[in-house]
Structure 1
């Protein structure tokens, strides 16, 4: 992903990479050399800011466990951050980072790159034009043989992948969830140590339901990596194959194909939105206080799967807020603790 982001930046005329930070400096130097760049390659954010001066932004493409440390260091240096998903592994840490962003006045956003496709834009617009969905379904069935850490994770699908689909559901519905019931399991043929399949139903604030059916060990008839979607509206139904086909059929009408527009997608679109925000445009859709809801959906689904009970998002935020406040006070960061406590749950947007 680091190399993918380097190439995404390189394709823009208004940006340049001023330094690369990696725990393996040799790996960083190799990536720079591959692109013909003579730039500092160092092992810490602090070193990078000394070697290259304060940059206009930082792309955080570290492993999730390092996201908070790296992002917080940049924010406290006054450097805006665009982070790979998830913004942090836990809602508690995300609340702490949101507080730092608020206190410093420095932008922090997450790149939820699967929001940015021509297909999902057209699907969302068609659903909205039909009056909005009361029932939204996404099926995600893939069979990657990753090897390595994902094969050993306790909940590889929910923790490492489901946030994309959950975030897409928020984008399509234009609303936030209230509660979830989730059942997590593994089919007997799974090659993962942890549970690699899940069924979840989210209830949203406007009464809509979002049903997620997913598996990372499904051989044959795999879906797109964006999943396969169906929305039921008062006017009829809209579907999206996860790629470029959007179809709709309304009451007493024939099925029709919905035109799919163009525009930037994926990492390039996420980067463009972030840079536009730095240039005075609107906050990016992945701004931490908004994106934290997608992370909370994952945490709530995990809690539901482990307890066998429906879980309210308010309870997830309350527990995370209490934990984050205690942790901040324990290290003497009373400003962060007070900011989190003042929100009394999810941060305002």
Structure 2
């Protein structure tokens, strides 16, 4: 039996999109390309912007500033939250307690504390809350995960990420733009590949002299995972020339060989003599998966139809967010940081700041962040 409500009604899943900015417009296009989903409402505080986005695509749906009102008027069955990260906690909570499951753009919340509050809210409401950790959804990545089953124990995983985007806007002003806005994708993929959780991180950041960012745009983070595997992320957002893909460049070294992935093509694997694919556990993602946010949308719809817990379930995604928060804490303190401490500090903050009694009751029933997250059967 699923631990969240499923949607049994026939026909496409009726969704309301919250957010009509650049990313919201991208979601409008993906929704239009997905027969299993029907857009029935668009919510944004800037109503002219929302109406223009719809008119440009020849769409006519319910528009408004209130999520609850638009969803009710439109008969929505689910919500896609594409608001700015500081609004995620409020929007997701409103939707969940309106009886609506939510697919939310990453990060699920700006802090571990707020993400734990949202995990408890999902339990209290009985609804699914899933984040669109979109860079999990590549056929080549699923193939890479398949290959790791024959590499034996994994010793080292590395990601190199070097890009030079000129975004402008809020990213240019962030204290840790690379870690907070981008690195979570690679951190999340490391958890997916290893089927394990990190236990500590040591991270250093800096800002090259030619950087156009105010905060540190370059970082190296070393994570220790359960079982002793080390994961190293090295990257820069102001590194022009020979840029990597947006997925970075990966190397996985195990007892039985090494796997390489450039983030775009198919992975390459070189096994030591006597090792090889054989009978290995297949990756959870099918090789025909649609990439990026389309893949996240497909998994969201599948979860609501079948009751299968998606990989982006909020309970699991908290660990990816903890990797980011731990890396930032390590960079600022110049020391190794325990991720258990990050989670438990977040748990205490969540309890202290929670305003809803039902959500606080769920948080209190956990006893600890570790107990609340690890009993949910998600990875």
Is 1:321–2:347 an aligned residue pair? yes
Task: Tell me the distance in 2 between the aligned counterparts of 1:155 and 1:128.
Answer: 35
> Which residue of the partner structure matches residue 112 of structure 2?
91
Partners of 1:132 and 1:173 within 8 A in 2:
no
> Which residue of the partner structure matches residue 221 of structure 1?
242
Deviation at 1:261, TM superposition (A): 4.6
Partner residue of 1:157 out of 178, 188, 209? 178
Q: Provide the secondary structure at the position in 1 that maps to 2:109.
A: coil
> Which residue of the partner structure matches residue 247 of structure 1?
268
Q: Deviations over 1:124-147 (max 9, x none)?
A: 111122225221000000000111
Deviation at 1:50, TM superposition (A): 3.6
Is 1:103–2:155 an aligned residue pair? no
> TM-score scaled to structure 1, two decimals?
0.94
Partner residue of 1:266 out of 292, 297, 312? 292
> Which residue of the partner structure matches residue 257 of structure 1?
none
> Which residue of the partner structure matches residue 3 of structure 1?
25
RMSD of Structure 2 on Structure 1 (CA):
1.8
Partner residue of 1:63 out of 84, 106, 113? 84
Is 1:29–2:51 an aligned residue pair? yes
Is 1:75–2:75 an aligned residue pair? no
Structure 2 unaligned spans of 5+: 1-22, 275-285
Partners of 2:113 and 2:349 within 8 A in 1:
yes
1:1-349 equivalences in 2 (<5 Å): 1-53=23-75, 55-252=76-273, 261-328=287-354, 331=355, 333-343=356-366, 344-346=368-370, 347=373, 348-349=375-376
Task: Tell me the distance in 1 between the aligned counterparts of 2:206 and 2:361.
Answer: 39
Task: Tell me the distance in 2 between the aligned counterparts of 1:239 and 1:38.
Answer: 46
> Which residue of the partner structure matches residue 256 of structure 1?
none
Task: Tell me the distance in 1 between the aligned counterparts of 2:96 and 2:49.
Answer: 25
Deviation at 1:336, TM superposition (A): 1.7
> TM-score scaled to structure 2, two decimals?
0.87
Partners of 2:150 and 2:256 within 8 A in 1:
no
Structure 1 unaligned spans of 5+: 254-259
Task: Tell me the distance in 2 between the aligned counterparts of 1:80 and 1:246.
Answer: 35
Partners of 2:134 and 2:292 within 8 A in 1:
yes
